[in-house]
Amino acid sequence: MLLRRRMRLLSLAIESVTVTGLLVSAVVAVTFISAIAVIDLAAIVVPLFVTAMVALMLGLVLLLLDTRVASRMIRRRF
């Protein structure tokens, strides 16, 4: 039961951090395009960045929850 929960938490954390990487890449690309084309794309960059930070926070919280589950597993064994 706890191993399944850990697998689920870690899978979600990895997915969240992967989404973060993709969003940060999009922020860099849009910022670069904005500088090259001399157009203001802040309306695109800001929501992308905020979404990336939310995804990163979610991934970190999921990793923290996994460490709690892992600690619980260790306590039950010893």
* pLDDT of res. 9: 96
pTM of the full structure: 0.87
Contact 27, 52 (CB under 8 A): yes
Q: Which two tokens stand for residue 52?
A: 């990336």
The whole-angstrom separation of Cα 7 and Cα 23 is 24
What is the Cα 66 distance to its own chain's centre? 15
pLDDT in 10s for each residue of the chain, 78 residues: 888 999 999 999 999 999 999 999 999 999 999 999 999 999 999 999 999 999 999 999 999 999 999 999 888 887
